[in-house]
Amino acid sequence: MMAAAKVGLGMTLTISPLTPLLGAEVSGLNVLDLSDAGFDSLYEALVDHSVIFLRDQPTLTEAEHYDLASRFGEVHVHPFAREAKPDPANQHPGVLRIRTTDESKVAAGNRWHSDVSCDARPPQASILQLHQVPQVGGDTLFSSMYAAYDALSVQMKHYLDGMTARHSGEESYRKLFRADIALGSQWPEADHPIVRRHPDSGRPALYVDREFTESINGLPKEEGKALLEFLFGHSERANFQCRFRWSTNAIAIWDNRCVLHHAMWDYWPQERRGHRVSVVGEVPLMWRLDSDRVPEGREGTTVKLTR
């Protein structure tokens, strides 16, 4: 169902959901002309739909992209820019250049993940604008971790209650940046709850991803590995997904606290490039079955899995 809201400066924002679970195209606004009320409506759309897409936006300069991200909170600086390659001349170290060419051996994000979940305060939101897109291919897929958690059995929810997992950037960043040098003195790693509570929606979301989650704390190694394999496969089920087909200068804004994403690398040797800026989030909050409740009206749609 479409929804519309007045957002100032003569703009009316229209929200068209892609699926009942997640994803919405938002039209009727220019991100460079967004009033405070307009920004609030945009953020509300993000909380409601977990990932939003804005087409036909102006090409943002690095400074404009950085300023847009700053409206969400403190800009996140990627560990690689932060520690391994600090460039004092770079005015906007938070701007990550995404580029895949016919010479690329790997493509950033070509595996299900939540951005930089190996940081102690991982990004809450990421904002990606693509300036060049392949003629066909290069879509980004998103998976709802609210829906993935909701669809687990009651027994599994109890088993996971209170558990934490270790997230590490080592394997991923060695491959992606071909960096055999350590990032500073060590690779980023952090322990996070396996089920986290979203501070704005109040909903529980599964928080593990194939790219960064390495082990489960407190479990024997093999048991933890088997459980993680199950959770990865479960969170990547098509039932929980939406898929965005890019157009030049479209912007995607996703909430890393409740979605995983996967950048599909099916367009080689074509080129795809753009900029991503992420926003620092809170230290992930643990969802507890005995004390946490989903606020009324925020329950979301339950997916019926074939058992």
Under rule CB under 6 A, how many of the chain's residues touch ligand SIN? Answer: 10
Shortest approach of ligand SIN to residue 98 CB, angstroms? 5
Q: Does 18 bind ligand SIN (CB under 6 A)?
A: no
Residues 141 and 65: their CA atoms lie apart, in Å, by 22
* Beta carbon of residue 265, minimum distance to ligand SIN (angstroms, whole number): 9
CA dist., res. 152 & res. 206, Å (int): 10
* Separation CA 174–CA 130 (nearest Å): 25
Among residue numbers 247 through 266, which ones bind ligand SIN (CB under 6 A)? 261, 263
**Binding window for ligand SIN (CB under 6 A); candidates: 108-116, 175-183, 285-293, 296-304:** 108-116
Binds ligand SIN (CB under 6 A): choice among 50, 140, 249, 256: 140
Q: Which tokens belong to 282?
A: 């809170």
Q: Out of 38, 79, 94, 109, point to the residue binding ligand SIN (CB under 6 A).
A: 109
Query: With respect to ligand SIN, which residue has the nearer C-beta, 7 or 22?
Result: 22
- The residues annotated as belonging to the active site are 113, 115, 261, 276
Angle at 179 between CA 141 and CA 126, to 5 degrees: 30
Which of 3, 47, 98, 294 binds ligand SIN (CB under 6 A)? It is: 98
Retrieve residue 148's tokens.
């993935």
Tokens 């190996």 correspond to: 118
- Contacts with ligand SIN by CB under 6 A lie at 98, 108-109, 115, 126, 128, 140, 261, 263, 276
